[in-house]
Amino acid sequence: NTRLLETRQRIKRDAVRRLQGETKPRILGIIPAKNTYPSLPNVVLREMAGKPLIGYTLDTALAVDALDRVVVSTDDQAVADYVMGRYPDVLALGRPDELSSVTARLSQIIAHTVQIMEADHDYYPDAVVLLSVHSPLREAEHVTAAIDTLILYPVDSVISVYEDYALHYLHAQQGLVPANPGMHHHVRLEREALYVDNGAVKAAWRDSITPASFLGERVGHVVMPAEISFQIKSE
């Protein structure tokens, strides 16, 4: 399965190179880095296997050739100091208090960051890639695959997912009915495939981004292996 995904990614990359030629879109990478969760204090700077959690996402972002700017949006000056001290090519932006509240939408944070880049830094992206700081196992190739999919297909946005092989049921008038009946017989049918948003990568054209939504109407996807879709969400 992993080899199949890698083959698909290479095919997409070759197609994008032929399509683009010398013309490449301006793509902004945004890393939201809220560090004030009561249940996970200082999670962004917490060390995991000898490196702060945010370091995994920063290293991945800087390894993606298609990203020409990378910014971190944070509510903690300590995070901003770490980024500016260790990653001079990455811009650290503070966010208003209301964008770190429990009611704040991710779309609001993205829209705010893009507006700051356009108004204060004279940078106008054609597309934006959102990279979750909670997904340390995501690699540059997965980000590139999402960007390639956004460029190749008529979609407003692309999200990363993993395939769910479990048998699922829906509640119907006559009781539970299988959503993917092929799995009754352990048969995987593409038309019955179920996908889980793993939160690792989201890419969208600038025109699709508003404070209310940044995915638009037509959402594409890239598949990542389930074993590297792990997210840091608890102790």
- Range with the lowest mean pLDDT among 16-25, 93-102, 147-156, 208-217? 16-25
Could you give the percent of the chain with pLDDT greater than 70? Answer: 86
> Is there a contact between 232 and 53 (Cβ–Cβ < 8 Å)?
yes
- From start to end of the chain, where are the E strands? 27-33, 47-48, 51-52, 69-74, 91-94, 127-131, 157-164, 169-172, 175-178, 194-205, 219-223
Residue 34 to residue 95: CA distance in whole angstroms: 9
- Range with the lowest mean pLDDT among 13-17, 43-47, 78-82, 154-158? 13-17
| pLDDT one-digit tens code per residue, 119-175 | 999 999 999 999 999 999 999 999 999 999 998 888 999 999 998 878 888 888 888
Contacts of residue 197, defined as CB under 8 A and 6 or more positions apart, other chains included, come to 159, 160, 161
Q: What pLDDT is stored for residue 209 in this prediction?
A: 94
- pLDDT reading at 6 higher than 90: no
Residue 5 to residue 11: CA distance in whole angstroms: 10
Strands 69-74 vs 27-33: parallel, antiparallel or unpaired: parallel
- pLDDT reading at 18 higher than 80: no
| pLDDT one-digit tens code per residue, 64-88 | 999 999 999 999 999 999 999 999 9
Give the HSE-up count for residue 2: Cα atoms under 13 Å, Cβ half-sphere. Answer: 6
The DSSP symbol for 41 reads T
- pLDDT reading at 193 higher than 60: yes
- pLDDT reading at 23 higher than 80: no
Q: Six-digit token pair at 96?
A: 């208003």
- Overall average pLDDT of the 173-192 stretch: 71
List the one residue out of 58, 65, 53 whose CA is nearest residue 13. 65
The dihedrals phi and psi of 201, each to the nearest 5 degrees, come to: -140, 135
Could you give the percent of the chain with pLDDT greater than 90? Answer: 68
The mean pLDDT of the chain is 88
Which amino acid is residue 132, in one-letter code? S
Residue 181 bridge partners (DSSP): none
Q: What pLDDT is stored for residue 20 in this prediction?
A: 57
pLDDT band (50, 70, 90) for residue 191:
low
Residue 47 to residue 59: CA distance in whole angstroms: 15
Contacts of residue 62, defined as CB under 8 A and 6 or more positions apart, other chains included, come to 70, 87, 89, 90
| pLDDT one-digit tens code per residue, 85-95 | 999 999 999 99
Which secondary structure element, helix H or strand E, spans residue 120, and what is its range?
Answer: helix 106-120
